[in-house]
A and B are shown apart, each in its own frame.
Chain A
């Protein structure tokens, strides 16, 4: 076998994992890799900040369902990835980070691990709590196996981010490489098959339920279980509420869709879940933003909880029937067994109740600009368009008022709540799905955090549309100050700088400010047609609130419709 450099082995191994794109920023400790990468056929997209690269890889992963890869140099490059990895960890996204590192040893300089060398950071130590797996290669020959192992762990079971730290001397050293597919990981055996007894229990409960309901989380999207979910919901005519991370896993124009539950869920979802007698929760971890106070969450329901991660069972909420398995497999099995046993076809009183509630409170709308704008946006965009959001009011308005119809068309930072995520994530999503229009619903506060990726979008010709709901404020915090701190604003006013139209133009993108729904519609249609990166600045009232809302520390029953 011919010898090969570590850098070459890395690119070969990445190609075997079908990696087509890497988002990253080069640096001293990555020079040998980049020297090989530029001839490898793998596209490297030069980000403007490593956080942007990590979020872009995350957006790529969420839109495509495959691993997204980002790369950064040693030291500050690597530490700049941290927010992106923490974000991916909390939302179970398979982001793979490759980091350069100083040498494992050096005969004549102190440029080596443990000597506080130039641009040395203990990225393994730093990322251990925010990655599913990480490793540092010690020799060039370890690289193929490290890549294989890392991709396998990141993309199977409950997905999550992983990191490979690659010292510079292992990139240049030559070794005989083993690219065999056999990777034995003794401590990692995700279980996808449900226990038959638990399935039996779940089926029995669902058959006798009078008011059954589904709560679908991000796990449904991750296991590509949307068709099975729809099939099961329709079989029993079960209303489906989604968690924030579950948004887009169930078509929101379906009569059984109740929208999101939670702090900024729909009134409909937050009300109906209180009436359910059996709750089938799929791929959710019952996070505080979804459930409100736990003792008043779904008080009368017997709960069936499907999750591939055993540690999620009983972590936040005690459930009656836990099923540790893949959502797709489990929903299919439950459906099969129900079909065999189901006698009555219509669950009439409950179906009527769902209809009644839905007509009463179907996505209550105030007369705010943002909700109207988002509904207008839905009319303009095709079904396959991908919408990413930033974090804050823009995100909650989008979740409430922008309906999604297809899985993986709504990309947002749910767990970590990372401002600045949406724009780079939309760049990643566009790379994954070049034929789909991609729109970032932004607030001015969030967009400021990663706006420099306009450079990436323009120079790499990755056209996305940014809609800035601009209130010159950190709007969600301002809302809390209005509601819970006697309206005393502290540290929330951003002023009206920069001028986002000029900012876009400075980067060579299109910038346009709109003052009415009609102008917005025209600007959006133009941006879709021209396929040029466009920032649409939408000045909105700084006093606008997101409602409905469950006040912090309260239960879903305490949902307030508005002030």
Chain B
């Protein structure tokens, strides 16, 4: 078996109903696995950017890119070079904090990770954290002993570094 890795694929697609279905259906149908996916409007109106993290060997990823390119509503597909990208994920984490000791420990960790407290109740704290997936994994790991009640993660989003862009050519 060839070596499997995580790859990040950035795509520009038509921003219209059904496109997410078409893309996710392609992954299912061809037996590719989406690790995570984030979707939002692109810089140009009418278009959306999908950032897809997919696991597989080089041959599989090459097929993913080619098959995505075949979809009519997919306008541009780029395989991002992991050495030259910025990736970010956002997470909201709700942690048990029944006493002052817990609260102070949690906020100390939050400071170190540059997480922000965004909601407080007598029993819990909610934090917002942005960063690479690894950083968020580490932070959630630290919160576990307190009791993580809920965590919501956006999935990864990414752009390549430098002036280069993957804009759509007309």
- 0/1 interface trace, chain B 23-49, chain A, CB 8 Å (1 if under): 001100100000000000000000000
* A186 touching B69 in the complex, CB below 8 Å, given contacts A128-B21, A129-B29: no
Return A132 CB to nearest CB of chain B, in Å: 8
- 0/1 interface trace, chain B 1-34, chain A, CB 8 Å (1 if under): 0000000000001100010011001100100000
Return B63 CB to nearest CB of chain A, in Å: 6
Whether B18 contacts A124 by the Cβ 8 Å rule is yes
Tell me if A311 is interfacial: C-beta within 8 Å of chain B: yes
* A128 touching B22 in the complex, CB below 8 Å, given contacts A311-B66, A314-B62: yes
Return B36 CB to nearest CB of chain A, in Å: 22
CB neighbours of B71 from chain A (8 A): 187
Return B66 CB to nearest CB of chain A, in Å: 4
Tell me if B74 is interfacial: C-beta within 8 Å of chain A: yes
- 0/1 interface trace, chain A 139-171, chain B, CB 8 Å (1 if under): 000000000000001000000000000000000
**A188–B26 CA distance with the chains assembled, in angstroms:** 17
**A311–B22 CA distance with the chains assembled, in angstroms:** 17
**A132–B22 CA distance with the chains assembled, in angstroms:** 11
CB neighbours of A133 from chain B (8 A): 72
Whether A186 contacts B21 by the Cβ 8 Å rule is no
From 103 to 146 in chain A, residues with beta carbon under 8 angstroms from any chain B beta carbon are: 124-125, 128-129, 132-133
Cβ-neighbour of A186 out of B29, B67, B168 (below 8 A): B168
CB nearest to A138 among chain B residues: B17
Tell me if B101 is interfacial: C-beta within 8 Å of chain A: no
Tell me if B117 is interfacial: C-beta within 8 Å of chain A: no
**A133–B70 CA distance with the chains assembled, in angstroms:** 10
**A125–B75 CA distance with the chains assembled, in angstroms:** 21
CB neighbours of B74 from chain A (8 A): 187
From 49 to 68 in chain B, residues with beta carbon under 8 angstroms from any chain A beta carbon are: 59, 62-63, 66-67
Tell me if A252 is interfacial: C-beta within 8 Å of chain B: no
* A129 touching B25 in the complex, CB below 8 Å, given contacts A186-B168, A187-B72, A187-B73: yes
**A315–B62 CA distance with the chains assembled, in angstroms:** 9
CB nearest to A187 among chain B residues: B75
Cβ-neighbour of B70 out of A125, A311, A313 (below 8 A): A311
CB neighbours of B69 from chain A (8 A): 310-311
Whether B66 contacts A310 by the Cβ 8 Å rule is yes
**A187–B69 CA distance with the chains assembled, in angstroms:** 8
Tell me if A185 is interfacial: C-beta within 8 Å of chain B: yes
CB nearest to A310 among chain B residues: B66
Whether A186 contacts B75 by the Cβ 8 Å rule is yes
CB nearest to A312 among chain B residues: B66
**A185–B14 CA distance with the chains assembled, in angstroms:** 10
Return B141 CB to nearest CB of chain A, in Å: 39
CB nearest to A324 among chain B residues: B66
**A438–B29 CA distance with the chains assembled, in angstroms:** 37
Please give the number of chain A residues whose Cβ is less than 8 angstroms from any Cβ of chain B in the complex: 17
CB nearest to B170 among chain A residues: A186
CB neighbours of A125 from chain B (8 A): 21
CB neighbours of B63 from chain A (8 A): 311, 314-315
CB neighbours of B170 from chain A (8 A): 186
Tell me if A309 is interfacial: C-beta within 8 Å of chain B: yes
CB nearest to A311 among chain B residues: B66
Return A111 CB to nearest CB of chain B, in Å: 21
Whether B70 contacts A309 by the Cβ 8 Å rule is yes
**A132–B72 CA distance with the chains assembled, in angstroms:** 8
CB neighbours of A128 from chain B (8 A): 18, 21-22, 25
**A315–B170 CA distance with the chains assembled, in angstroms:** 29
**A185–B63 CA distance with the chains assembled, in angstroms:** 23
Whether A188 contacts B21 by the Cβ 8 Å rule is no
**A188–B29 CA distance with the chains assembled, in angstroms:** 21
Return A311 CB to nearest CB of chain B, in Å: 4
**A185–B13 CA distance with the chains assembled, in angstroms:** 12
Return A64 CB to nearest CB of chain B, in Å: 24
- 0/1 interface trace, chain B 116-152, chain A, CB 8 Å (1 if under): 0000000000000000000000000000000000000
Q: With a 10 A CB-CB cut-off, give which of A187, A310, A313 has the most chain B CB atoms.
A: A187
* A153 touching B62 in the complex, CB below 8 Å, given contacts A128-B21, A128-B25, A129-B25: no
Whether A153 contacts B72 by the Cβ 8 Å rule is yes
Return B2 CB to nearest CB of chain A, in Å: 12
CB neighbours of B14 from chain A (8 A): 186-187
**A545–B62 CA distance with the chains assembled, in angstroms:** 41
**A476–B26 CA distance with the chains assembled, in angstroms:** 32
- 0/1 interface trace, chain B 158-170, chain A, CB 8 Å (1 if under): 0000000000101
Cβ-neighbour of A314 out of B18, B59, B75 (below 8 A): B59
CB neighbours of A315 from chain B (8 A): 63, 66
Return A82 CB to nearest CB of chain B, in Å: 15
Return B12 CB to nearest CB of chain A, in Å: 9
CB neighbours of A124 from chain B (8 A): 18
Return B75 CB to nearest CB of chain A, in Å: 4
* A188 touching B72 in the complex, CB below 8 Å, given contacts A128-B21, A128-B22, A128-B25: yes
From 257 to 311 in chain A, residues with beta carbon under 8 angstroms from any chain B beta carbon are: 309-311
Q: With a 10 A CB-CB cut-off, give which of A128, A133, A153, A311 has the most chain B CB atoms.
A: A311
CB nearest to B13 among chain A residues: A187
Return B123 CB to nearest CB of chain A, in Å: 41
CB nearest to A129 among chain B residues: B29
CB neighbours of A188 from chain B (8 A): 72
CB neighbours of A132 from chain B (8 A): 72
- 0/1 interface trace, chain A 172-186, chain B, CB 8 Å (1 if under): 000000000000011
**A298–B170 CA distance with the chains assembled, in angstroms:** 42
Return B73 CB to nearest CB of chain A, in Å: 6
A-B contacts, 20 listed (Cβ < 8 Å): A124-B18, A128-B18, A128-B21, A132-B72, A133-B72, A153-B72, A187-B14, A187-B71, A187-B75, A188-B72, A309-B70, A311-B63, A311-B66, A311-B67, A311-B69, A311-B70, A313-B66, A314-B62, A315-B63, A315-B66
Known pairs A153-B72, A186-B75, A310-B66; list 18 more (Cβ under 8 Å): A124-B18, A128-B18, A128-B21, A129-B26, A129-B29, A133-B72, A185-B72, A186-B14, A186-B168, A187-B13, A187-B14, A187-B71, A187-B72, A187-B74, A187-B75, A309-B70, A311-B70, A315-B63
Binding site for B on A (CB under 8 A): 124-125, 128-129, 132-133, 153, 185-188, 309-311, 313-315
